[in-house]
Structure formats: structure tokens, C-alpha cells
Amino acid sequence: MAHVQDYTATLERVSAAIEEAGAGEPAIAAAVHALKQQMPDYTWVGVYLLDGNELVLGPFVGKPSPHARIPLGRGICGAAATEKTTIIVDDVNADSRYLACSIETRSEIVVPIMLDTEVLGEIDIDSDRLAAFGQDDKTLLESIAQRLAPHLKAADRTEPM
């Protein structure tokens, strides 16, 4: 059964956590932790930072990922960064791009973090539930990505794509 979420309250809590943490990576970590705490169906929550032509795993909450570096264009994460668009996968087992992290993962959403047209990184979230992500999640996470963009720029670990 799906959980009923108050997306507005979640956005407010995550935004407050970002602002309280200050600039750079502490803000990213605060956002990841707040999202995981607020959203029960978000099994794994992480941010990848763009470094040249690779996405490098930054702060995350969940099981360790075997994918610490993902080349642009590879997997769902690499596709979202290359295409500069949010990708929702209702069933990861039905998507050939999926890079398996956990056998429990059933669905995924990846949201690019952009400043103007420049990709700085992305929010990557897995769920152990099929079709766990909908329009409300997309809207919520795109809003959080907008708030995180200046903090990723401040982390100064990225280069323009």
C-alpha cells in the first residue's frame, strides 16, 4: 500500500535542512538525510556529483552502492545527466539501462541538478516498491534539485558539461 505523503511539508523540511547546513557538501548531506527521513518509500537516497565525464557518488543514505563512479551516458543516472531530464523507472528489471545496486530495488527516479543549462550532479533515489515514484515525487525532487544547485556549485567539485 502506498504511503500518503505531505509533499509541501517535506519540501519545507528539506529546504530548511539545506539552509541550516550552509554551503557545499554539508547541504547536500542534509538534503539526502532529510529526504530519507521524510519519505518511507525512498529506500536509497543519494547525490552524484559531475566530475568531468563521470558522476561521482557523494552523500547518500542506504546500503553501500557498488557504483561510486558512473560514466555519462551509462545507466539511468548517466542517461538522466546526458539528457538533462528527470527519468522515472517503474520497474528497474524491465529497463536495460539499470545498473543493479541492490536486488531489493524495484523502481528508481533520477533528477538532474542544474544551474541554468549546466548539469552539476543529480539526485538518485531507489525504492523497494514497484512504481513508487509519480508526478508529486518528480515535482518535489526537481524543486529540491533547484535548491541544491548553488550548493553543488559551492562544493566546487564540478566542471561544466
What are the grid coordinates assigned to 45, written together?
537516497
For the four alpha carbons of 36, 38, 40 and 42, in that order, the dihedral sign comes to negative
pTM, full prediction: 0.90
pLDDT digits (tens, 9 = 90+) for 40-96: 899 999 999 999 999 999 999 998 888 899 999 899 999 999 999 999 999 999 998
pLDDT digits (tens, 9 = 90+) for 102-125: 788 999 999 999 999 999 999 999
d(CA 146, CA 144): 5
d(CA 62, CA 98): 18
Tracing cell 541550516 back to the chain, one arrives at 20
Taking residues 137-149, what's their average pLDDT? 95
